[in-house]
């Protein structure tokens, strides 16, 4: 069994399907796919033995708990799927909330950027 996030609801699942189709193996493995509601659940399928392998987020693979599992991972080439852009935004109703501003300032700090880079995120500002 191959665990991925549900491609209908989980962006990482959508990217996993793109990758499998890019390498022309989707039709060969589609009957082996098991879908998590989200990428965390798909990853749990692998760590609990309910799936043999999974396509998951690098940020989850690099967590201390996953590192303790002692498994191996392969970074899927970016050319095999469209990019998955994520961001942090402050909306109008949160702009005057001190904790919102504090979090936003932290997430754009050098310390936070270093943490994000460690977990495999591209931190190029747009």
Note the pLDDT tens digit of each residue in 102-124.
999 998 899 998 998 888 887 77
Statement to judge: residues 62 and 24 lie in one domain: yes
pLDDT of 125 reads 58
Tokens matching residue 16: 């996993």
Residue 79 CB partners (closer than 8 Å, separation 6+): 22
Number of domains in the chain: 2
Note the pLDDT tens digit of each residue in 38-80.
999 999 999 999 999 999 999 899 888 888 888 889 999 989 9
pLDDT of 65 reads 84
Residue 126 reports pLDDT greater than 70: no
Residue 107 CB partners (closer than 8 Å, separation 6+): 88
- CA 56/CA 16 separation, integer angstroms: 8
Q: Which pLDDT band holds residue 86 (cuts at 50, 70, 90)? A: confident
Q: Give the domain CATH number at 8.
A: 3.40.190.10
pLDDT of 34 reads 98
């Amino acid at each position: 069994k191959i665990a991925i996030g549900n491609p209908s609801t989980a962006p990482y699942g959508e990217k996993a399907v793109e990758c499998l189709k890019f390498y022309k193996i989707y039709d060969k493995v589609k009957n082996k796919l098991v879908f998590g509601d989200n990428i965390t659940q798909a990853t749990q399928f692998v760590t609990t033995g309910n799936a043999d392998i999974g396509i998951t987020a690098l940020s989850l693979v690099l967590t201390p708990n996953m590192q303790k599992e002692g498994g191996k991972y392969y970074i899927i080439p970016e050319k095999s799927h469209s990019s998955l852009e994520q961001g942090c935004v402050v909306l109008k109703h949160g702009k005057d909330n001190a904790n919102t501003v504090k979090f936003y300032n932290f997430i754009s700090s050098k310390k936070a950027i270093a943490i994000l880079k460690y977990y495999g995120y591209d931190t190029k500002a747009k």
